Structure 1
Amino acid sequence: MFRRTFWFTAGAAAGVWATTKVNRKLKQLTPESLAAQAANKAIETGHRIKDLALDVRAGMLQREAELGEALGLEVPVDHDPELPAQRRLAALPYTKYSYNRNEDH
């Protein structure tokens, strides 16, 4: 009698456990749940890309400072690593005669 009660209880517990697992998996596969999971992954990827961009920017500023120091250029004191620095175009000396490669032909 105790054996039957034990196996009945064990079977009922296994059935409840399996039903719970299946219901959880079915809830994860609904369109709303899949859309939420995709949105969360997209947000996480966006944060990782932003972190990568900030790391690249910090490395770029560090290397730019190293190059500026090696070349004897002034390094701007107030620079914000969040915002890109303004670029200055190098002024080329004006020559009276400019070279046009199409004039030779």
Structure 2
Amino acid sequence: MFRRTFWFGTGVAAGVWATTKVNRKLRQLTPESLAATAANKAIETGARIKDRAVGFALDVRDNMAQREAELTDALGIRESPELPAPRRIAAIENTTYTTKSYKTHPYNRNEDH
């Protein structure tokens, strides 16, 4: 009798364990769960790529500054040259041309000839 009870209990425990495992796996394979897992992985990958890109950019900037200093010393440049002031383009104002006088403007190409 004890033997049958033991094996019955063992079978029940194995059945509960297997059912729990199967249900857990089925919940992981639902579309919502798969979408959430994919989104989490994408966010993690994006963060890793961003960290690497920022590190790379900082390394490039440091090396660029170092190389610029080397070239400045090699060429004997002590000060940065001053650039000329930017040129200003004068706007030509036509006081006779307004939106209201568009059709009556003497230089309107769309007039009948």
Q: With the length of structure 1 as denominator, give the TM-score of the two structures.
A: 0.65
SS in 2 for 1:39: helix
In structure 2, give the amino acid aligned to 1:44: E
Deviating runs (4+, > 3 A) in structure 1?
none
| Counterpart residue number, 1:60 | 60
Q: How far apart are 1:63 and its partner, in Å?
A: 0.8
* Higher RCO structure (Cα 8 Å, ≥6 apart): 1
Q: How far apart are 1:61 and its partner, in Å?
A: 1.4
| Counterpart residue number, 2:87 | none
* Residues 55-93 of structure 1, C-alpha deviations (whole Å, 9 max, x = no match): 11111012112212211279xxxxxxxxxxxxxxxxxxx
Q: Decide which structure has the larger Cα Rg and report it.
A: 2
Q: With the length of structure 2 as denominator, give the TM-score of the two structures.
A: 0.61
Structure 1: 5+ residue runs without aligned partners?
75-105
| Counterpart residue number, 1:3 | 3
SS in 2 for 1:16: helix
Structure 2: 5+ residue runs without aligned partners?
78-113
In structure 2, give the amino acid aligned to 1:65: A
In structure 1, give the amino acid aligned to 2:26: L
